[in-house]
Amino acid sequence: MHSETHEKARTSERMDGRSPAALDRRGFIGWLAAAGVAAAAVPQRLWAWVQERRRITRETVAAAEALHGLEFTDAERELMLESLNERLALYEQLRSVAVPNSVPPAVQFDPVLPGTELPTERTPFRMGRQPRVSLPAKLDEAAFLPVTQLSELVRTRQLSAVELTRMYVDRLHRHGAALECVITLTEERALERARRADEEIAVGRYRGPLHGIPWGTKDLMATRGYPTTWGTAPYKDQRFDYDASVVRRLDDAGAVLVAKLTSGELAQGDLWFGGRTRNPWKPEDGSGGSSAGPASATAAGLVGFSLGTETMGSILGPSARCGATGLRPTFGRVSRHGVMALSWSMDKVGAICRSVEDCAVVLNAIHGPDGLDPTVRDVPFNWNPDVRPSDLRVGYLESAFQDDDADRGRDLEVLDVLRSLGAKLIPLELPQGYPIEAIRLFVLDPEEGAAFDDLTRSNRDEFMLRQGPNDRPDRFRKARLIPGVEYLMANRVRTMLMGSMRSVMEGVDVLVAPARARNLSAITNLTGHPAVAVPSGFRDDGTPASMSFVGELYREDAVLALAKAYQDATAHHLRHPPRFV
């Protein structure tokens, strides 16, 4: 009987979800009784054997203290042991539940602090006055036109949606491989949608400025009938039987999806399972990440516009490097339903375009609640292209314009242009005295670790390309060693940072800063503020420089209005990478 009992204890992993090594003596006897073993048959040496099998010891706790910067006494460690061992079984119970990436936690981030006033009045959307546009002699010359002009060609039927779509699909075929920016062409879907657009426009059912305009999406967004790879080998065959809300809304606007564009794997960098996405201005360099494909393809004239995502710089960063105009909306402005989750409290979906007003057109189509992403607020977006810089209170990040580097001259020229347009510039600084890197790490890493918990525990992360320090697999593993208390403390300090940022922005409508300004991306992503990146000139090697315009929460209209005024006065966005013209 003793050997039989011993065998049952050795081979049985759990009973009612609890590991025998996680039980006290009485619980262990009850566990055996449930297994059909009489209590009298439990010898002392078997109980001793179970005690030896306990996975957490005082030495384990001491080692964990070192990882977390804590120190307990031996008595305190001893007091913890029984409960800590019992938790191992609870972890097993929790991990036995299959949780898709699409399921958010039952906590919700809101960047709007009590007392913040948001826009309430709604006005009809209208574009600014456009120059008269006619069809170029060579269709390829239309590839770099902004949406505001492409839409006029389609609306007036100088150019059919099918012709425009075929032109972009041809350019994707010709240049996509050189830029390594395309994962999947959606050619069949695109041509069917384009034909439908032409039929509707022919009978007067014009849906608006995106009707018939080809676009591309970062391959984090679910698209029925096509793979959604998230840029990494473990998911390269993944398919969803529904469309992301932003894909559906652009379908409703009549836009034509022509390609699923590259994302750095699991939204990191510009490296994906098919290569490294290239900068069209300097193809030997990467495009930046992780909205690598959308920025590269838009700048190279392979799509009319694109959608990207940003958690910590992934729209503004590649837009700056590739010379595109990128909009990161306020957190909670655009639904993320059907979009890969990395950080539930920081992920945002935005547009990458060739002009500021294009970003306004796209945002108008995709913003607002869908009943599927509970973080999205019903706040109006009122675009007024006629707002003058003199009508806005404009701040500038004074210390960032004093940095003595190669881009300083171009940065100061931006301020000169804004002054010439009537803007009265107010010197400001970002909130000081906060441990920004600590907040970022202790908020973002646990959330992304939870988002890809199964990938880590299944060891499928070994199939990812990037395996170095602080690459996704390494960060997912280290995230498991961040205490829940530190996650919550980081979020509490984040609330304080949000209050300080609100104070900074109280005196201005827009804050202007070089894209490289220290902590600008980290702070404004943590606080949820909107921003747009706009080309601000070109360096000696031909690569573009960029300027960032940051706005108050849900005031993308003001940010875009100032950025448009600057863009119209400089025309840097009208230059295109020569290898792809």
- Which residue is catalytic, options 19, 160, 245, 290? 290
Q: Which of 543, 541, 546, 540 is nearest to 570 (CA)?
A: 546
Report the run of H or E that residue 261 belongs to, with start and end: strand 256-261
Q: Cα(138)–Cα(175) distance, rounded to whole angstroms?
A: 18
Q: Cα(390)–Cα(13) distance, rounded to whole angstroms?
A: 71
Report the run of H or E that residue 579 belongs to, with start and end: none
Residue 201 makes CB contacts below 8 A (sequence gap 6+) with 154, 155, 157, 161, 211, 212
134 is catalytic: no
pLDDT in tens, 134-154: 999 999 999 999 999 999 999
Identify whether the C-beta of residue 233 lies closer than 8 Å to the C-beta of residue 278.
no
Burial of 274 (0-12, 13-18, 19+ CB in 10 A): middle
The token pair at 197 is: 């657009």
The token pair at 568 is: 């119209």
The predicted pLDDT at position 54 comes to 59
The token pair at 31 is: 């566990």
- Degrees to nearest 5, angle at CA 528 with 526 and 531: 110
- Residue 125: other Cβ atoms inside 10 A: 16
Helix/strand/coil for 100: coil
Across 288-430, the runs of DSSP E, i.e. the strands, are 305-310, 325-328, 348-353, 394-397, 425-428
Helix/strand/coil for 370: coil
pLDDT per 10-residue tile (average), the chain, 581 residues: 41 44 54 56 52 75 90 91 86 90 94 95 90 91 96 97 98 98 98 98 98 98 98 98 98 98 98 98 97 98 98 98 98 98 98 98 98 98 96 97 89 97 97 96 96 95 94 94 95 97 96 94 98 97 97 98 97 95 87
Q: Which of 53, 126, 46 is nearest to 89 (CA)?
A: 53
- Which residue is catalytic, options 151, 314, 335, 355? 314
Q: Cα(1)–Cα(38) distance, rounded to whole angstroms?
A: 10
pLDDT in tens, 458-481: 999 999 999 999 999 999 999 999
- Which residue is catalytic, options 218, 260, 282, 348? 218
Q: What is the CATH number of domain 139-375+385-433+483-575?
A: 3.90.1300.10
Q: Cα(85)–Cα(54) distance, rounded to whole angstroms?
A: 7
287 is catalytic: no
pLDDT in tens, 103-133: 999 999 999 999 999 999 999 999 888 888 9
CA 574 to chain centre: 27
The predicted pLDDT at position 392 comes to 97
Residue 428 makes CB contacts below 8 A (sequence gap 6+) with 395, 396, 397, 398, 504, 507, 508, 511
Residue 524 makes CB contacts below 8 A (sequence gap 6+) with 501, 531, 550
Residue type, 522: A
Q: Which of 444, 454, 336, 411 is nearest to 96 (CA)?
A: 454
- Degrees to nearest 5, angle at CA 195 with 189 and 201: 130
Helix/strand/coil for 282: strand
Q: Cα(366)–Cα(349) distance, rounded to whole angstroms?
A: 9
Residue 299 makes CB contacts below 8 A (sequence gap 6+) with 280, 281, 322, 323, 324, 354, 576, 577
Residue type, 38: A
Rg from Cα positions in the chain:
27
Q: Cα-flanking dihedrals φ and ψ of residue 294, to 5°?
A: -55, -45
Q: Which of 340, 346, 303 is nearest to 322 (CA)?
A: 303
Global pTM?
Answer: 0.89
The predicted pLDDT at position 1 comes to 37
**DSSP secondary structure, 440-477, as one string:** HHHHHHHHHHHHTHHHHHTTGGGGSS--STTSHHHHHH
**Domain coordinates of the chain in residue numbers?**
2-95, 139-375+385-433+483-575
290 is catalytic: yes
Q: Cα-flanking dihedrals φ and ψ of residue 432, to 5°?
A: -110, 160
Report the run of H or E that residue 294 belongs to, with start and end: helix 292-299
